[in-house]
């Protein structure tokens, strides 16, 4: 049946039809789809591949009329109040489909308000690609923020990457564009075709809030349905507040998942999330660590960035599997009583053409001025934290990982680079803040708001700052002027102690203060002691390679250092491979050198780390007051000539104290008088010179008995044997 004879000019002008045909109409929903006029329903439709187009309803099939000036645009009268489908024909072929322009908006008024205000905490529930049923029809809703665009199209494998087919609807003043495309779903590949205000077509853009992506080097986003995962970790979720607390034992195993272990029988591929859920989780559990920290798993284009230059902040990298399989990994960790921390990168993003750079034809996510918007160290772009929508994007992303993936914490990368406008910049290369200072007030406000939001919404998680300066109050509450993080990496402790232990023992007396200096500020923040990936890469060598001396001395030095670290106030972090004294430094294209565990010395270090974790977790004096000054007391801090350190660790009122003694010379010291806080039996609960660790079993035959003669300002004392290059730990009580 032919359509009615309503003049085309009453429905659409020839100029508008041409803009629809070439995909340049600014408001296609005002033209396309069904429209009521004078009691009739008129349909305007566009199909660039059709030579004829019909509307098929319950009661009839209406052959639509092509517009002469734009023959891919068709119109006609259709029955009122009847659903229709479009049927196209060309070259002897036909196809039928639901018209995306017959559907109303998905984004509601409250969402619009929050988007405009930059306060939509769950931004990912509105933007991105969502599999849903809308107005009774299954499909995918796409929404993207591009406020300065002239028009935006979704292109993908479902529309031949043709920017003319699915031009989106602008949502008022929000800067957001949306469209519901019926009959597509999970697995569809897509990008956004954005035309800037000046008419220039941008490179096709991946979805900033996309939940999945293609395997690099391909760059398209992939529709992933992240709803409906059946979590079964309720017990962990109700108990984890105590697992992340300042009083809890926290020992973190830092992992780059791509190089922890490889499948050599399958061309050296990386482990999948599901494989890691068994192999990695079981190993971490066996080694006694309390948490796994993953280097960034957000989607990133370049393996060599280790994930620190992400493009898809809302997408777990496809290198190891789809989103639900990452959830399998998190849940497996929780089943074993292990928390999961993700490295999170809000400090910068890469310049890749498919990413956020110049997203809508303008400097949208980044600062336009390179003195504020370009990172010289990493050749990356810096977020414009003062723009409310950008801050909202980042804060919502932090909440996304905590809520959608039950992640237990976020370690925020490169915080120092965010806090200071002159970070790694010379005079004249940076812009002062409104007060003329160097602090990045907008970044500070974003971090404070992020911490306030995630602790307020989720509460029982942890946020950790990698912050390498003395910026005050990093792990103090926002309402007292702090940044609001739960913990801060103690970079000063790490640098000082690694420098000290790298010296030949004969020279250590000249650097004695490097091991004690950290105690001057140890309780100014809630510190984590990090031996991270950054310390075993870029020519720094492995932990073992940093140690001086012959083979035995190098292993003994490392054992003593780990004993010092686990006995020192502060939570612990150790990068993968360091627990087996891997000889070579980390290579992201390789794997941990697991073959080393066949050798006794390496196996001994591994056993020591496991026993240190076990002791640390089981002994409140070693963890309960990690962040409290009254949990620590020096016994001996000034024995520089002998390179000996001794101190007391205390827990709660009912917890017996522990004493840690380190001897950083290769000289055995017999009958060394050590002051002790109580008379009685002190058990030697750990000795890094034990033969099971690769030592020679020199020590105190299981313990010492302290008498009433005081020493070192303590009421009791005992004579102890300090093996060469060793740490011993004594616990009070039989």
Indicate which residue of 413, 442, 591, 689 is catalytic.
413
Mean pLDDT of the chain: 95
Model confidence pLDDT, tens digit, residues 627-664: 999 999 999 999 999 999 999 999 999 999 999 999 99
Separation between Cα atoms, residue 399 and residue 346, nearest integer Å: 13
- In words, the CATH class of domain 234-489 is alpha beta
Same fold, 109-222 and 629-732: yes
Task: Give the mean pLDDT of 216-242.
Answer: 95
Task: Give the mean pLDDT of 669-680.
Answer: 96
Model confidence pLDDT, tens digit, residues 89-146: 999 999 999 999 999 999 999 999 999 999 999 999 999 999 999 999 999 999 999 9
- Domain-wise residue ranges, the chain: 8-102, 109-222, 234-489, 492-622, 629-732
The answer, yes or no, to whether residue 2 has pLDDT greater than 50, is no
Model confidence pLDDT, tens digit, residues 150-179: 999 999 999 999 999 999 999 988 999 999
- Sorted by sequence, the CB contacts under 8 Å of residue 419 that are 6+ apart come out as 439, 440, 443, 444, 467, 469, 471
Phi, psi of 650 (to 5 degrees): -125, 150
Q: Which of 511, 410, 402 is nearest to 465 (CA)?
A: 410
Query: Does the annotation count 466 as an active-site position?
Result: yes
Q: Which fold has domain 8-102?
A: Immunoglobulin-like (2.60.40)
> Where does residue 479 rank: exposed (0-12), middle (13-18), buried (19+ CB within 10 A)?
exposed
Model confidence pLDDT, tens digit, residues 246-265: 999 999 999 999 999 999 88
Task: Give the mean pLDDT of 440-464.
Answer: 96
Burial pattern 378-405, b for ≥16 Cβ within 10 A else e, equals: bebbbbbbebebbbbbbbbbbbbbbbbb
Which run of H or E residues covers position 642? Answer: none
The answer, yes or no, to whether residue 188 has pLDDT greater than 70, is yes
Contact of 461 with 334, CB cutoff 8 Å: no
Q: Which of 326, 329, 325, 336 is nearest to 236 (CA)?
A: 336
- What confidence category does residue 302 fall into, taking pLDDT thresholds of 50, 70 and 90? very high
- In words, the CATH class of domain 109-222 is mainly beta
Phi, psi of 159 (to 5 degrees): -140, 25
pLDDT more than 70, % of the chain: 99
Query: Does the annotation count 360 as an active-site position?
Result: no
Contact of 277 with 315, CB cutoff 8 Å: no
Q: Which fold has domain 629-732?
A: Immunoglobulin-like (2.60.40)
Top pLDDT among 190 and 3 is at 190
> Where does residue 580 rank: exposed (0-12), middle (13-18), buried (19+ CB within 10 A)?
buried
Supply the DSSP symbol for 267. T
The answer, yes or no, to whether residue 180 has pLDDT greater than 70, is yes
Contact of 667 with 643, CB cutoff 8 Å: no
Indicate which residue of 99, 389, 466, 525 is catalytic.
466
Model confidence pLDDT, tens digit, residues 371-397: 999 999 899 999 999 999 999 999 999
Contact of 560 with 688, CB cutoff 8 Å: yes
The answer, yes or no, to whether residue 1 has pLDDT greater than 50, is no
């Amino acid at each position: 049946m032919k359509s009615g004879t309503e003049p085309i000019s009453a429905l659409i002008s020839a100029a508008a039809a041409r803009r629809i045909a070439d995909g340049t109409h600014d408001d296609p929903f005002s033209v396309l789809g069904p429209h009521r006029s004078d009691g009739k329903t008129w349909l305007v439709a566009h199909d660039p591949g059709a030579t004829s187009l019909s509307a098929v309803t319950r009661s009839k099939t209406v052959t639509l009329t092509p517009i002469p000036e734009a023959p891919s645009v068709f119109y006609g009268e259709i029955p009122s109040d009847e659903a229709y489908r479009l049927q196209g024909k060309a070259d002897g072929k036909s196809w039928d489909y639901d018209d995306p322009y017959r559907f109303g908006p998905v984004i509601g008024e409250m969402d619009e308000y929050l988007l405009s205000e930059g306060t939509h905490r769950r931004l990912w529930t509105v933007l991105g690609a969502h599999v849903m049923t809308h107005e009774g029809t299954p499909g995918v809703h796409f929404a993207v923020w591009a406020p300065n665009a002239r028009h935006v199209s979704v292109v993908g494998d479902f529309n031949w990457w043709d920017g003319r087919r699915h031009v989106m609807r602008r949502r008022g003043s929000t800067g957001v564009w949306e469209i519901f495309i019926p009959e597509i779903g999970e697995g569809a590949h897509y990008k956004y075709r954005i035309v800037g205000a000046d008419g220039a077509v941008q490179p096709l853009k991946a979805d900033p809030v996309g939940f999945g992506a293609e395997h690099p080097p391909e760059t398209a986003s992939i529709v992933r349905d992240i709803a409906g995962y059946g979590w079964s970790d309720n017990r962990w979720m109700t108990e984890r507040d105590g697992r992340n607390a300042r009083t809890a034992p926290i020992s973190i195993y830092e992992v780059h998942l791509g190089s922890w272990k490889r499948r050599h029988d399958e061309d050296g591929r990386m482990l999948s999330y599901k494989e890691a859920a068994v192999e990695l989780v079981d190993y971490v559990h066996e080694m006694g660590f309390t948490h796994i920290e993953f280097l960034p798993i957000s989607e990133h284009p370049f393996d060599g960035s280790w994930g620190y230059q992400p493009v898809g902040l809302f997408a777990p990298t496809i290198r190891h599997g789809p989103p639900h399989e990452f959830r399998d990994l998190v849940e497996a960790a929780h089943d074993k009583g292990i928390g999961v921390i993700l490295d999170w990168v809000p400090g910068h993003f890469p310049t890749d053409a498919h990413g956020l750079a110049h997203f809508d034809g303008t400097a949208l996510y980044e600062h336009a001025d390179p003195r504020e918007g370009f990172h010289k160290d990493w050749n990356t772009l810096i977020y414009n934290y003062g723009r409310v929508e950008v801050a909202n994007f980042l804060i919502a992303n932090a909440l996304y990982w905590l809520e959608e993936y039950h992640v237990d914490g976020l370690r925020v990368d490169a915080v120092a680079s965010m806090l200071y406008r002159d970070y790694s910049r010379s005079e004249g290369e940076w812009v002062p803040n409104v007060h003329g200072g160097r602090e990045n007030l907008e970044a500070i406000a974003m971090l404070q708001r992020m911490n306030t939001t995630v602790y307020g919404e989720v509460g029982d998680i942890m946020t950790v700052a990698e912050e390498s300066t003395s910026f005050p109050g990093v792990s103090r509450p926002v309402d007292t002027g702090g940044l609001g993080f739960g913990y801060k990496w103690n970079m000063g402790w790490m640098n000082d102690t690694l420098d000290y232990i790298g010296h030949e023992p004969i020279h250590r007396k000249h650097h004695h203060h490097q091991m004690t200096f950290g105690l001057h500020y140890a309780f100014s923040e809630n510190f984590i002691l990090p031996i991270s990936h950054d310390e075993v890469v870029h020519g720094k060598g492995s932990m073992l390679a940093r140690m001086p001396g012959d083979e035995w001395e190098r292993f003994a030095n490392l054992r003593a250092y780990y004993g010092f670290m686990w006995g020192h106030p502060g939570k612990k972090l150790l990068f993968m491979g360091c627990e087996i004294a891997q000889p070579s430094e980390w290579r992201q294209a390789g794997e941990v050198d697991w073959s080393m565990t066949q050798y006794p010395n390496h196996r001994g270090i591994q056993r020591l780390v496991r026993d240190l974790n076990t002791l640390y977790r089981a002994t409140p004096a070693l963890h309960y007051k990690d962040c409290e000054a009254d949990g620590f007391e020096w016994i001996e801090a000034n024995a520089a000539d002998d390179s000996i350190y001794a101190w007391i660790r205390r827990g709660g009122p009912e917890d017996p104290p522990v004493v840690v003694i380190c001897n950083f010379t290769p000289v055995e010291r017999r009958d060394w008088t050590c002051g002790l806080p109580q008379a009685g039996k002190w058990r030697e609960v750990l000795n890094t010179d034990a033969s099971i660790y690769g030592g020679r079993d020199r020590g105190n035959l299981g313990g010492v008995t302290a008498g009433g003669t005081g020493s070192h300002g303590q009421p009791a004392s005992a004579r102890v044997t300090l093996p060469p290059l060793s740490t011993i730990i004594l616990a009070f009580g039989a």
